[in-house]
Structure 1
Amino acid sequence: MKNHLDLYNKYYVDRQFEKADLFELLADKYQIKVVLYPGSFVHITPSFIIPKAYYVDADKAAKKFFANKEDVMGLIGKNKIYSEDTVLDFFGQDYFKPIDIQEETVDLLVSQYAGPISQACKKYLKKGGHLLVNNSHADAGIAALDPDFQLVGVVKSSKGKHRIDERTLGEYFCPKKDLDLSIEYLLKLGKGVGYTKTADSYIFEKCCS
């Protein structure tokens, strides 16, 4: 590519997958100032909205992208909506390995298409913090079974715009088939099961430390 920042444009801008409005909704609703994004690839959109962000990915292209920190910070500077200085740390590693972050200091944990992040990284999320998760690799279903998490909202989208719905939350995570679900079962399965009612993503609050 002509410019390593083109990677961000290719995967997020061109595909209309930035989700800036969603991160703004979350930041406003839950007063989010610190986000941890394991398996982020180069999705730096949260830094446009949230002043402090930790990104974690072992992908070679992601490492190369974040190595050009001056350019990355420049892109963020052109798009950020807050007045504070941006704080960004990238960890080029597997998120299952210990991350050099103090435990229970993160306001928002993001899990999107990257495995069982809710289990591997929940120790970094503060009590009362929030998990944004989809059901890729069954992680939303895992969080729904985890007593440390409580479902507080779902994310729905229409014509590229996101909204948070807090109604009828008890109707989610009811399996279509008669399955004896457990966290261990879903971790081993490695993919989501069918539910009678679904959403784009789910928002859980960490209710226990």
Structure 2
Amino acid sequence: MKQMTQQLWDKQDQHPGDRWRLFQAIREAVPADAVLYAGSYVDVAPSFVYSDVTYVDLDKRAARFFADTEGVQQIIREHGDDENGRFTFLHGDYRSVPLDDERYDLLISLYAGFISEACGHCLRIGGTLLVNASHGDAALAALDSRFKLTAAVLSRGEHYTVTHSDLDRFMVPKKPQTVTRESIKASGRGIAYTRPAFAYLFTRVR
């Protein structure tokens, strides 16, 4: 493994095992054959639990990281199992990289902009969008008629859980406000909710 590969991963995994625990909880709720992680940088944790993951990122460091195929596979094997390790990396802007319609079972949007809008077409009907509030993408997904909120991902200490209960209590703004697609994109920030969650799961329904 190249030293650079390990260094980039160590920096990404600054809270050791955190992302692994996150995706273990997600896998229990969302079995998936094909996963798309847009704006991934070098976060290969989905490959610890899923066997076919496509990563997309514009950063040149991510391109160099994934170019070290053996090093990345070694990181994956150290955390996953022998069935995992198959991945694809696409170097480019997820808004313009060619991606197949309805190809993926799980679309991941974490801290990387309006992925639900740009890549929602890649998710199959019945597939799942994992999205957090960063940049307002969860709020944008809640307004998108293609998606229906089906679960919240909660974080407590080092543990993650997925709940399907009392979903009407989530995504309620602390301050009375009219939330529109235009206002979300103009601010580029997440909305403060009365009952925040680490992330949310939406099902593509149309």
Equivalent residue, structure 2, for 1:11? 12
SS in 2 for 1:23: helix
CA distance in 1, matches of 2:86, 2:3: 27
- One-letter code of the match for 1:51? S
Cα contact 2:5–2:72 (8 A) shared by 1 = no
CA distance in 2, matches of 1:44, 1:181: 33
Work out the number of aligned pairs and report it: 205
Normalising by structure 1, report the TM-score. 0.91
Deviation of residue 115 (structure 1)?
0.4
Deviation of residue 154 (structure 1)?
0.7
Equivalent residue, structure 1, for 2:106? 108
Deviation of residue 38 (structure 1)?
0.8
Cα contact 1:131–1:204 (8 A) shared by 2 = yes
Q: Which runs of 5+ in 2 are unaligned?
A: none
Equivalent residue, structure 2, for 1:167? 165
Cα contact 1:26–1:32 (8 A) shared by 2 = no
- CA shift digits 1:66-106 (9 cap, x unpaired): 1111211222233223x53632110110111033x321011
Deviation of residue 188 (structure 1)?
1.7
- CA shift digits 1:175-196 (9 cap, x unpaired): 2223221122211221112222
Equivalent residue, structure 1, for 2:179? 181
Q: Which runs of 5+ in 1 are unaligned?
A: none
Normalising by structure 2, report the TM-score. 0.92
Equivalent residue, structure 1, for 2:22? 22
- Name the % identity: 35
| Aligned residues: CA RMSD | 1.7
Cα contact 2:113–2:137 (8 A) shared by 1 = yes
Moved more, 22-31 or 39-48: 22-31
Equivalent residue, structure 2, for 1:157? 155
Q: Which runs of 4+ in 1 moved over 6 A?
A: none
Deviation of residue 3 (structure 1)?
3.5
- CA shift digits 1:145-173 (9 cap, x unpaired): 11111111111112211101111101122
Deviation of residue 16 (structure 1)?
3.1
Cα contact 2:18–2:158 (8 A) shared by 1 = no
- One-letter code of the match for 2:199? S
SS in 2 for 1:19: helix
Deviation of residue 143 (structure 1)?
0.8
CA distance in 2, matches of 1:195, 1:9: 32
CA distance in 1, matches of 2:137, 2:147: 12
